[in-house]
Amino acid sequence: MLRRRALLALLASSALANTAQGGAPLQIVATIGQIADLASRLAGERAVVRALMGEGVDPHTYRQTRADVLTLRRADLVLAVGLWLEAQLVDLLTALATEKPVLLLAERLPPERLLAHPDFPGKFDPHVWMDVALWSELVPILEVELARLDPADAAGYRERARAYRAELAALERYVRRVLATVPPERRVLVTAHDAFGYFGRAYGFEVHGIQGLSTESEAGLAEIERLVRLIVERRIGAVFVESSVAERNVRALVEGAAARGHEVRIGGQLFSDAMDAPGTYEGTYVGMIDHNVTVIARALGGEAPPRGMNGRLATVG
């Protein structure tokens, strides 16, 4: 076993050497789509980027398949969010890190920029992509790593990183402009799980998830009851489902509020931990955030163009 591992490490490093000499493109494997999208924007033609998890997949509970293990073994670089987002993959990623570069991107952010986990001291909320400016801080971190693995195109990585940061800055401006139109008393976001903590901090929203930071534990009836009370007392008009979490808990809120004479509707589906299908606009990071803020603003009494920042949204909130 050990000998086999050493051989794999050797193969991995010779693959890197090939790339550095201008040979085959880098093979990059990312856990979630948000990271795969970031990597392919920075790497351009220099890499083949794959995501293990596609649309609708929940990273908190995802377990690798046999095909995933093969894909990861062949990768030159493995990218994950870290901070226990990919809880079931931690052992595998730790083992891979003895053979090849495994970058846990969110763990490279300064700890003072992270939100503390409410239940586990010393742990942090992993959903860092929900704050566009914070996500943008990963661009130079990944750029440096890619240029280190593929120094022949260091200038290309620098240029693509610069262009992508400008795109993210434009996205951030749209997000702030649109969310500012939501009346202050309606800036309350109720969703299926606590994926929106960074969103709330960045854009001034109060956020409530039915399940906690992870979907691994089921929501209790007491939690659903607490949120129904909140929705009724605050006269909240819309709650949101998430594409990677079952809808039943959100439906329970709608029914619970109705039983108390308050009508709350489902304001739309948000992309929280998974993006939409590859090849769609909502299957990119920019598209997923555009979709989310457009849906949220329109459902909570704000103003946003029905097809979003640049007219590319397929679904209207």
261: part of which helix (H) or strand (E)?
Answer: none
Amino acid letter, residue 21: Q
Residue 213's nearest CA partner among 112, 130, 300 is 130
CA angle, corner 227, sides to 238 and 122, nearest 5?
A: 110
Among 143, 153, 273, 282, binds Zn ion (CB under 5 A): 273
CA distances from 67 to 52, 71, 72, 73, 170 (A): 10, 6, 9, 10, 38
Min dist. Cβ of residue 118 to Zn ion (A): 14
Instruction: Name the segment binding Zn ion (CB under 5 A); options: 23-31, 88-96, 250-258, 273-281.
Output: 273-281
Query: Could you count the other beta carbons within 10 Å of the beta carbon of residue 57?
Result: 18
Instruction: Name the segment binding Zn ion (CB under 5 A); options: 11-19, 69-77, 144-152, 188-196.
Output: 188-196
Closer CB to Zn ion, 117 or 298, in the complex: 117
Min dist. Cβ of residue 165 to Zn ion (A): 25
| 195 binding Zn ion? (CB under 5 A) | yes
Closer CB to Zn ion, 15 or 202, in the complex: 202
Query: Could you count the other beta carbons within 10 Å of the beta carbon of residue 314?
Result: 12
Min dist. Cβ of residue 126 to Zn ion (A): 7
Instruction: Name the segment binding Zn ion (CB under 5 A); options: 141-149, 156-164, 270-278, 290-298.
Output: 270-278
Structure tokens at 172: 């951030």
* CA atoms of 279 and 128, how far apart (whole Å): 23
Min dist. Cβ of residue 22 to Zn ion (A): 39
Instruction: Name the segment binding Zn ion (CB under 5 A); options: 36-44, 114-122, 219-227, 269-277.
Output: 269-277
CA 123 from centroid of its chain's CA atoms = 18
| 242 binding Zn ion? (CB under 5 A) | no
* CA atoms of 108 and 126, how far apart (whole Å): 12
For the segment 79-138, give every residue that binds Zn ion (CB under 5 A). Answer: none
Spatial contact of 31 and 51, defined as CB atoms under 8 Å apart? yes
Closer CB to Zn ion, 85 or 264, in the complex: 85
* CA atoms of 138 and 206, how far apart (whole Å): 25
Closer CB to Zn ion, 32 or 147, in the complex: 32
Instruction: Name the segment binding Zn ion (CB under 5 A); options: 36-44, 227-235, 265-273, 277-285.
Output: 265-273
Closer CB to Zn ion, 114 or 178, in the complex: 114
Closer CB to Zn ion, 150 or 273, in the complex: 273
CA distances from 178 to 116, 202, 276, 287, 302 (A): 27, 14, 22, 15, 7
Closer CB to Zn ion, 53 or 178, in the complex: 53
Residues that bind Zn ion (CB under 5 A): 195, 273
